[in-house]
């Protein structure tokens, strides 16, 4: 009898363990006073200690910094031993996929394209061609190159009058300079042209404009002034 009772008890215990508990209606409603939260960390905290940069990483960082400085100073391809291009190329020789160096080369190219367009607008077409040649030296297949050449050709075929002037004569406000400005102002009035004065400083540019205005008293000259390292005047003709 005792053996049978023992076996029945064992079977009951096994049955209890295999059955899933049926939750009561009360158990679905949390009791804020009796509820005990079991809070456990998802994982053990991991302390990440950054490693020291390697000697090559420090070298690359220094070269990139110098290259970006040269880029900001417009030392793009020159001077020979102190320019942005050579520094970015040096980095790429060590790390061909370096994004900063590759981006730096493209920025140099685009800067030459911008400088070329500035020169073209002033009528300095030879300078514009030389600057585009430097852009091609970096990447002749860049999509902006062909567009820049097309714009340059359009400027050359515009028919505008372009006067390259002697900076020394104009800085001294010589009679030759005054005579040239008088002549250019007369042509601007006759052609009803829009002028673009380019001069190395604001004082000279304003003097040039005043001389032109006085030469055609009563006529309203229309134009603009830009500062650059040369002295020139471009008369833009009407396209109508």
Own/partner pairs, 213-222, CB within 8 angstroms, 24+ separation: 213/185, 215/181, 215/182, 215/185, 215/186, 216/185, 216/186, 216/188, 216/189, 219/189, 221/185, 221/188, 221/189, 221/195, 222/194, 222/195
Same domain, residue pair 165 and 144: no
Each residue's pLDDT tens digit, 165-222: 999 999 999 999 999 999 999 999 999 999 999 999 999 999 999 999 999 999 999 9
The enclosing domain of 223 has a CATH number of 3.30.2320
Same domain, residue pair 73 and 147: yes
29 domain-assigned: no
Query: By residue range, what is the domain housing residue 200?
Result: 161-236
21 domain-assigned: no
Q: 20-24, 73-77, 199-203: which has the minimum mean pLDDT?
A: 20-24
Same domain, residue pair 182 and 123: no
Q: Which single residue is written with the structure tokens 């049955």? A: 15
16 domain-assigned: no
Same domain, residue pair 148 and 166: no
* pLDDT of amino acid 93: 97
Each residue's pLDDT tens digit, 100-146: 999 999 999 999 999 999 999 988 899 999 999 999 999 999 999 99
What's the number of domains the chain is made of?
2
Same domain, residue pair 166 and 117: no
217 domain-assigned: yes
* CA 173/CA 188 separation, integer angstroms: 21
Indicate if the pLDDT at residue 30 is higher than 60.
no
* CA 100/CA 97 separation, integer angstroms: 9
For 202, the token pair is 């604001």
Assign 3-class secondary structure to 117-165: HHHHHCCCHHHHHHHHHHHHHHHCCCHHHHHHHHHHHHHHCCCCEEEEC
The residue out of 156, 177, 203 marking a domain boundary is 156
Same domain, residue pair 138 and 167: no
The residue out of 156, 182, 211 marking a domain boundary is 156
112 domain-assigned: yes
Q: 43-47, 63-67, 153-157: which has the minimum mean pLDDT?
A: 43-47
Same domain, residue pair 64 and 124: yes
49 domain-assigned: no
1 domain-assigned: no
Go through 162-188 and write b for each residue having 16 or more CB atoms within 10 A of its CB, e for each that does not.
bbebebebbbeeeeebbebbeebbeeb
DSSP 99-118: HHHHHHHHHHHHHHHHHHHH
Same domain, residue pair 181 and 214: yes
CA 212 to chain centre: 38
The residue out of 131, 156, 181 marking a domain boundary is 156
For 13, the token pair is 């215990």
28 domain-assigned: no
Q: Could you tell me if 56 and 93 are in contact, meaning their C-beta atoms sit under 8 angstroms apart?
A: no
Same domain, residue pair 60 and 152: yes
């Amino acid at each position: 009898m005792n053996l049978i009772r023992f076996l029945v008890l064992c079977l009951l215990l096994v049955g209890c363990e295999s059955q899933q508990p049926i939750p009561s209606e009360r158990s679905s409603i949390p009791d804020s006073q009796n509820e005990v939260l079991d809070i456990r960390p998802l994982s053990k905290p991991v302390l990440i200690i950054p490693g020291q940069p390697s000697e090559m990483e420090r070298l690359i960082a220094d070269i990139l910094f110098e290259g970006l400085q040269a880029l900001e100073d417009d030392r793009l391809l020159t001077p020979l031993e102190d320019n942005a291009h050579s520094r970015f190329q040096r980095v790429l020789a060590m790390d061909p996929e370096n994004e900063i160096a590759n981006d730096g080369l493209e920025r140099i190219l685009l800067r030459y394209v911008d400088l070329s367009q500035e020169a073209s607008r002033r009528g300095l077409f030879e300078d514009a061609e030389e600057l585009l040649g430097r852009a091609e030296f970096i990447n002749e297949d860049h999509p902006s190159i062909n567009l820049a050449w097309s714009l340059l050709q359009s400027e050359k075929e515009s028919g505008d009058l372009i006067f390259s002037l002697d900076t020394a004569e104009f800085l001294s406000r010589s009679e030759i300079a005054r005579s040239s400005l008088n002549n250019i102002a007369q042509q601007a009035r006759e052609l009803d042209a829009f002028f673009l004065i380019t001069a190395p400083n604001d004082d000279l540019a304003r003097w040039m404009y005043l001389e032109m205005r006085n030469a055609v008293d009563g006529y309203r000259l229309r134009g603009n002034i830009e500062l650059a390292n040369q002295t020139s005047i471009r008369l833009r003709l009407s396209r109508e």
